[in-house]
Structure 1
Amino acid sequence: MGPIVWFVAGILLAAAEVLTGDLTLLMLGIAALGTAGVSAVADTSIAADAVVFAVISAVLLLGVRPLLRRRFGSPPPTLTNIDALPGKSALVLEEVAAHAGLVKLGGEVWTARPIDPTEVYEPGATVYVMKIDGATAVVWKGP
């Protein structure tokens, strides 16, 4: 009777993981399934089953779970808004100089200035956004 209880508990815990996504219940479910296996093979007592469950749980929660959380826990960051603009190309609409200029960037018109204040970019040139400074794109034509 002992292995069946551990097996059912393991399946229920693993299924409940879907609701949390924290990997804790999954680790406990795997530990319960491991305990069910040991209990079925060795015909152990409930006290021995508890020790087996505790050991497997500790290994999984302290060893495996942190590795899985690092690997799968958070999606890679997706840059949005102005954080996604550096590295994008832009078309110069009006001469870009130290104190004035307009570029078309991602379908929008932005004020712009060159990263090197001594440079001037003519209309029609393609430049690259190095950073966004307030509402101004700091651009560079490249080598």
Structure 2
Amino acid sequence: MSALLWLAAAIVLVVAEMFGGELVLLMLAGGAFAAAGVDFVWEAPLWVEGLVFAVVSVLLLVAVRPVAKRHMLTRPAVLMNTEALEGQPAVVTEKVDRHDGRVKIGGDIWSARTMDPAQVIEPGTHVTVVQIDGATAVVWLP
């Protein structure tokens, strides 16, 4: 009978974890699942189940939670939006100088200016996008 109580407690802890996200309640739910398993298999006294709950919960909190948190917080470096355009090749469609111009980057036309203020780049020239400044691509002729 207490196995059902441990399972109910574990389910409540898992649901509560969904709202918190710190993985503490999930580790406690693991302890509750272990206590339910001990009761189901051996029909142990309540104090043994409580001890199993405490030991497994502490082990999960100390050993598993830091590793899980580290994996949750580290994401692969995927460049998104304008960050992905830096370093990309482009083709000049309208003359680019230090003030104005147009380039085609991956099928899209962008306003552009040169990185070197003295440089003027003619249409048809292949350039490299150095950075995106607002809605303007700063380009460089290698």
The two structures have a TM-score, normalised by structure 2, of 0.70
Structure 2: stretches of 5+ with no match in the other structure: none
Structure 1: stretches of 5+ with no match in the other structure: none
User: Who is 1:138 aligned against?
Assistant: 138
Structure 2 vs 1, CA of residues 38 and 57 (structure 1 numbering), >3 Å: closer, same or farther? same
Q: How far apart, CA to CA, are the structure 1 residues paired with 2:33 and 2:137?
A: 57
User: Who is 1:109 aligned against?
Assistant: 110
User: Who is 1:85 aligned against?
Assistant: 85
Q: How far apart, CA to CA, are the structure 1 residues paired with 2:135 and 2:41?
A: 69
Q: Which amino acid aligns with 1:130?
A: V
Q: 5 Å matches for 1:1-143?
A: 1-14=1-14, 16=15, 19-20=18-19, 22=21, 23-72=23-72, 76=76, 79-98=79-98, 100-105=100-105, 107-114=108-115, 120-142=120-142
Q: How far apart, CA to CA, are the structure 2 residues paired with 1:127 and 1:101?
A: 13
Q: CA deviation at 1:57?
A: 1.0
Q: CA deviation at 1:39?
A: 3.3
Q: How far apart, CA to CA, are the structure 2 residues paired with 1:45 and 1:59?
A: 21
The two structures have a TM-score, normalised by structure 1, of 0.70
* Runs of 4 or more consecutive aligned structure 1 residues displaced over 4 Å after TM superposition: 73-81, 97-100, 116-120
Q: How far apart, CA to CA, are the structure 1 residues paired with 2:63 and 2:54?
A: 13
Task: Indicate the SS of the match to 1:132.
Answer: strand
Q: Map Cα deviations across residues 53-89 of structure 1 (whole Å, 9 max, x no partner).
A: 1221122123212222322457556544433321233
CA contact (8 A) 1:103 1:112 kept: no
Coordinate RMSD, CA, aligned:
3.2
Q: Map Cα deviations across residues 79-124 of structure 1 (whole Å, 9 max, x no partner).
A: 444333212332212333456543234523312204x566553211
Task: Indicate the SS of the match to 1:121.
Answer: coil
Identity across the alignment (%): 42
Aligned residues: 140
Structure 2 vs 1, CA of residues 43 and 109 (structure 1 numbering), >3 Å: closer, same or farther? closer
